[in-house]
Structure 1
Amino acid sequence: MASLSVHSDRLEIHLTRAERTLALRRESIVVQRENIRSVIITQDPWIWLRGIRALGSIIPLVLAAGTWKFHGGKDFVSIKRHRPAVVIDLVDEEFARVILTSQHAADLIDSLKLPA
């Protein structure tokens, strides 16, 4: 599973070697925190897929990794089976949405909350 690093100004998504290979992607994904519109946890990440696979791999309901293109842009997906996942909606970034299977989704949401 991808490892997520939350910094004061950005979120870094470091893909494993297998995920980079399946997604046909060389580098990690870096998202500026100010460009994160919303973050939610879903129990069924498959319902969040939209568009068609542009680059990457898919075994339906088992594994999806790569870029999905849709009418309004593109999404990055790295999901496995029916495990909990985090859905990150973005603005002004390379991807409109990032969907990742993560065991630490709740911790990610807590760490992304801005101090009052």
Structure 2
Amino acid sequence: MASLRVHPDRLEVHLTKAEKTLAFRREDIVVARDNIRSVTITDDPWIWIRGIRAPGLEVPLVLAVGTWKFHGGKDFLAIKRRRQAVVIDLVDEDFSRVILTTNHAPDLIASLKL
């Protein structure tokens, strides 16, 4: 599972080796805190998926890792099963939205002070 680190100026999403391989990524995701528009906690992250997978891997309702492209941009997903997740809406970044399953969603929102 991806680990999240909150710094005063940025949010870092550190992906595991397996997630990087499945997502065809070499680097972790770093987002400037000023570019985070909102963060939402969801119990069903699968309803937030939009667009088509390119590149990445999806096994419906089991695993979704990678980039999903849609008409207005692209999203990054690291979703595992039906676990609690955070949906991070972004502006002026490579991704329009980052969706991640995490056991620490309330702590993330508290540390971001949104």
TM-score by length of 2: 0.98
What SS does structure 2 have at the residue aligned with 1:26? coil
Q: Tell me which amino acid in the other structure corresponds to 1:70.
A: F
Determine the C-alpha separation between the residues in 2 that align with 1:53 and 1:75: 9
Determine the C-alpha separation between the residues in 1 that align with 2:101 and 2:18: 14
Q: Tell me which amino acid in the other structure corresponds to 1:96.
A: S
Does residue 39 of the first structure (1) align with residue 69 of the second (2)?
no
Q: Which runs of 5+ in 2 are unaligned?
A: none
Structure 2 partner of 1:69:
69
Report deviation, 1:96: 0.1
Structure 1 partner of 2:109:
109
Structure 2 partner of 1:96:
96
Does residue 49 of the first structure (1) align with residue 60 of the second (2)?
no
Q: CA RMSD in A?
A: 0.7
- Give % identity: 76
Determine the C-alpha separation between the residues in 2 that align with 1:106 and 1:22: 27
What SS does structure 1 have at the residue aligned with 2:67? strand
Structure 1 partner of 2:12:
12
CA offset digits 1:54-94 (Å, max 9, x no partner):
10000011000000000000000000110000000000000
What SS does structure 2 have at the residue aligned with 1:20? helix
Please identify runs of 4+ aligned residues in structure 1 that moved more than 4 A: none
What SS does structure 2 have at the residue aligned with 1:30? strand
Determine the C-alpha separation between the residues in 2 that align with 1:25 and 1:43: 26
Determine the C-alpha separation between the residues in 2 that align with 1:101 and 1:21: 18
Structure 1 partner of 2:3:
3
Report deviation, 1:13: 0.3
Q: Tell me which amino acid in the other structure corresponds to 1:3.
A: S
CA offset digits 1:31-60 (Å, max 9, x no partner):
000000000100000000000001000001
What SS does structure 1 have at the residue aligned with 2:87? strand
